[in-house]
Amino acid sequence: MSFPWAEHYTPKHPLMQWVDEKLPLPRLVYNAVGAGYPVPRNLNYFWNFGVLAGLALLIQIVTGVVMAMHYGANTLVAFGTVEQTMRDVNAGWLMRYAHANGASFFFIVVYLHIFRGLYFGSYKAPREMVWLLGLVIFLLMMATAFMGYVLPWGQMSYWGAKVITGLFGAIPVVGEPIQTWLLGGFAPGNASLNRFFSLHFLLPFVIAAVVILHIWALHIPGSSNPTGVEVKGPQDTVPFHPYYTAKDGFGAGIFLILFAILLFFAPNYLGHPDNYIEANPLSTPAHIVPEWYFWPFYAILRAFTVDFFFVPAKLLGVLAMFASILLLFFLPWLDTSPVRSGSYRPTFKTFFWILVLDVLILGYCGGAPAEEPYVMISQVAAAYYFAHFLIILPMIARFEKPLPLPNSITEAVLAKYAKADGEPAAVPAE
């Protein structure tokens, strides 16, 4: 599952030789994220975000396990135990704020990771499985984040749980029984809180398992790169360690600095004040909004305001919201252009940046109150979102004339450095 020129693991110390004979775990690590994994030499900083997402998951698991030690999953005490963690547990405020803001940073790096995949065509053959597993991780993250947000049992926790499980209630006939079954009652209550806690503890480890599959599937073809041209020989790659471990170390430093700024100096900036009010089933907040990372999807949900004959608008919104994520699973077969990298696809690039702007607009509208003009703006933006993936992208693949690709990764790299040095591009003999 690697290139023939990959370096081989040769333990020198007798103890390591002994371990390698009994359980070749160090060998596995060496081949997965060590010197035994050859990686294209031209990866840019956008390729840092996979490792950063792994780091974010690790931070969430460590802080989350500590939080769970002080948490009581009961509607009578949940809000109070979180407050007690903040006030009376040693460094409890640090764990709590790191966990809450860590979720946001996890989504930031994963969104940038997905952005990278979309722009550089990482989802295309032969890496479809990597993409599909990545989407599975994304869905698991969304479920985990949603359930985690319910646990502090504040006003937004309660009403968010009510709205999101209410989406299932929009399904005809079986909707309400499903909603009742999910909540373990007719409204969010103790049964809901307990099961959300149980699943919120479980799912991160499921995510970790799918991350392993994601990396495994990646190692079969090897990493993609900004040119989208496949690796042709040893001159195109460098060993993951030390080259990319060093680069990821620097990336992790930048990530942690930004994380620390938010965590220590504006820990409630991304949160909602209403979640510092204990859940009250008798008092509905003026604006129920989910966490920022769900805003684009929330905007799509609310964009449907007109019934389609016998299909109510609410059900359409629910279907569209799920469709907006599920359609990504078909992306490798919707975009049939043989050229991977957006850098060599002029038409694709234009529409791609429109999509990025479109998703940001959807996000803004999703966080705004459900009033005009936000609803009208999100209707146009959501229409473009679906049109982009389902209509425009397949058409571009058919009609676009891509720019000429470099012959190899090395040629592209040498051309770049020659240009930086002010020399004419060297053409390597092949």
Partner 1 sequence: MVRIGAFLVGLFFAGWLLISFLVGAYSYVVEPPAKTVEHEFHLAPKHVSFSFDGPLGRYDNQQLQRGFQVFKEVCSACHSLKFVAFRDLAGIGYNEAEIKAIAKNWTIKTPSVDPATGEASTRDGIPADYFPSPFANNVAAAAANNNAIPPDLSLMTKARHHGSAYVYSLLTGFQEQPAELLKHFPDAKTPEGLHFNPYFANLNLAMAPPLSADGQVTYGDGTKPTIDQMSQDVAAFLTWTAEPKLENRRRAGVATILFLLIATGLAYMAYQNIWADKKKAA
Which residues inside 255-314 make contact with partner 1, applying CB under 8 A? 256-257, 260-261, 263-265, 267-268, 273-274, 276-278, 286, 303-306, 308, 313
- Give min distance, CB of 340 to partner 1, in A: 19
* Region of residue 173 (left: phi > 0; alpha: psi -120 to 50; beta: else): left
Quickly tell me which residue has 């990504």 as its tokens: 328
Burial class (CB in 10 A: 0-12, 13-18, 19+), 417: exposed
Question: Is 8 annotated as catalytic?
Answer: no
Annotated catalytic residue 291: yes
Q: Residue 388, annotated ligand binder?
A: no
Residue 214 among known ligand-binding residues: yes
Q: Which of 104, 122, 157, 223 is catalytic?
A: 223
Q: Examine residue 387 and tell whether it contacts partner 1 (CB under 8 A).
A: yes
Query: What's the min distance (Å) between Cβ of 267 and partner 1?
Result: 7
> Where does 274-408 have alpha helices with state H?
295-303, 313-326, 331-334, 346-367, 374-387, 393-399
* Contacting residue, 330, 353, 356, 357, with partner 1 by CB under 8 A: 330
Minimum distance of partner 1 from residue 118's CB (angstroms): 16
**CB nearer partner 1, residue 211 or residue 392:** 392
Nearest residue (CB) to partner 1, 152 versus 204: 152
Distance (Å, whole) CA 290 – CA 280: 17
Of 57-65, 178-186, 199-207, 327-335: span binding partner 1 (CB under 8 A): 327-335
Of the candidate residues 163, 203, 215, 252, the single one contacting partner 1 (CB under 8 A): 252
Burial class of residue 232 in the structure, from the number of CB atoms within 10 Å of its CB (0-12 exposed, 13-18 middle, 19+ buried):
middle
On whether 241 is known to bind a ligand per the annotation, the reply is no
Which backbone phi and psi does 71 adopt, to 5 degrees? -100, 145
- In the residue annotation, 349 being an active-site residue is answered as no
62 near partner 1, judged by CB under 8 A: no
Paired tokens of 309: 């004959």
* Residue 272 marked ligand-binding: no
Nearer to partner 1, 210 or 375 (CB): 375
The verdict on whether 223 is a catalytic residue reads yes
Nearest distance from residue 345's CB to partner 1, in Å? Answer: 18
Is residue 430 part of the annotated active site? The answer reads no
Which residues inside 88-117 make contact with partner 1, applying CB under 8 A?
Answer: 93-94, 97
Instruction: From 22-30, 169-177, 185-193, 252-260, give the range in contact with partner 1 by CB under 8 A.
Output: 252-260
Number of CB atoms found within 10 A of residue 369's CB: 11
Chain residues 38-57 in contact with partner 1, contact rule CB under 8 A: 41
Q: How far is the CB of 74 from partner 1 (least distance, A)?
A: 17
Question: Which residues 6+ apart lie within 8 Å of 23 measured at CB?
Answer: none
Contact 152, 71 (CB under 8 A): no
Q: What is the residue whose two structure tokens read 């939080």?
A: 67
Choices 161-169, 206-214, 328-336, 339-347 (CB under 8 A): range interacting with partner 1:
328-336
Considering only residues 230 through 249, tell me which ones interact with partner 1, judged by CB under 8 A. Answer: 238, 242-243, 246-247, 249
Cα separation of 428 and 111, whole Å?
37
Q: How far apart are CA 381 and CA 395, in angstroms?
A: 20
Residue 124: name the closest of 359, 403, 345, 350 by CA: 345
The window from 26-34, 217-225, 289-297, 410-418 that contacts partner 1 (CB under 8 A) reads: 410-418
Is residue 428 within the footprint of partner 1 (CB under 8 A)? Answer: yes
Kindly identify the residues of this chain, within the stretch 117-146, that bind partner 1 according to CB under 8 A.
Answer: none
Other C-beta atoms lying within 10 Å of the C-beta of residue 102: 24
Tokens representing 285? Answer: 């907040």
Neighbouring residues of 403: CB distance < 8 A, sequence distance ≥ 6: 343, 344, 345, 346
The interface with partner 1 within residues 140-179 (CB under 8 A) comprises none
Place of tokens 């009994």: 22
Query: Is the peptide bond preceding residue 126 cis, with omega within 30 degrees of 0?
Result: yes
Instruction: Tokens for 65, please give them.
Output: 């396990």
Least distance to partner 1, CB of residue 421, Å: 5
Of 177 and 234, the one with the shorter C-beta distance to partner 1 is: 234
Q: Does residue 429 interact with partner 1 by CB under 8 A?
A: no
**Which bin fits 91, alpha (ψ -120 to 50), beta or left (φ > 0)?**
left
CB contact at 8 A, 188 and 308:
no
Binding-site residues from annotation for a ubiquinone: 219
**Residues with active-site annotation:** 219, 223, 247-248, 291
Annotated binding site: 99, 113, 200, 214, 219
Q: Enumerate the known binding-site residues for heme b.
A: 99, 113, 200, 214
